[in-house]
Amino acid sequence: MLSLLAQTAPGEFLDGLSAIGAGLGYGLAAVGPGVGIGIVVGNAISAMARQPESAGMVRTTMFLGIAFTEALALIGFVVFILLLP
């Protein structure tokens, strides 16, 4: 392992580190919004099942909630593209 590190140029090593950081960054940024969107949609479905007559309003509000939650994952995605070597 150490001899392998000694052979690589410093620039390559930094490139590899930033690739790892980009991958981890996107993965971590996707965890929270994934859970959040699940909660939003699950509760919207149970609300629609209880009161089908208010489905239109619930659907609109659900998309709003998804849009706000998803923004965090998208910021992670932007950072992922910026960090790519």
Partner 1 sequence: MSVFALEFPPVSHLFDWPTIWFDGTPLAINKTVLIYLAATAATMVLFGLAGRTRESLVPVGVQHVAESGVNFIENSVVMQTIGPDGKKFMPFLTSMFFFILFSNITEVVPFIQFPANSRMAVPITLALLVWVVYNVVGVKSQGVFGYLKNSLFPPGVPWVLYVIVTPIELVSTFVVRPFSLAIRLWANMVAGHLLLVTFAILTATLWEFFYVPAALPFVMLILMTAFEILVSFLQAFIFTILTAVYIGGSMHPEH
Binding to partner 1 (CB under 8 A) within 15-74 occurs at: 56-57, 59-60, 63-64, 66-67, 70-71, 74
Give the shortest CB-74-to-partner 1 separation in angstroms.
Answer: 4
Q: Which is nearer to partner 1, 2 or 56 (CB)?
A: 56
- Shortest gap between Cβ of 1 and partner 1 (angstroms)? 22
Percent helix, strand and coil across the chain, each to the nearest 5: 95, 0, 5
- Write out the residues near partner 1 by the rule CB under 8 A: 56-57, 59-60, 63-64, 66-67, 70-71, 74-75, 77-78, 81, 84
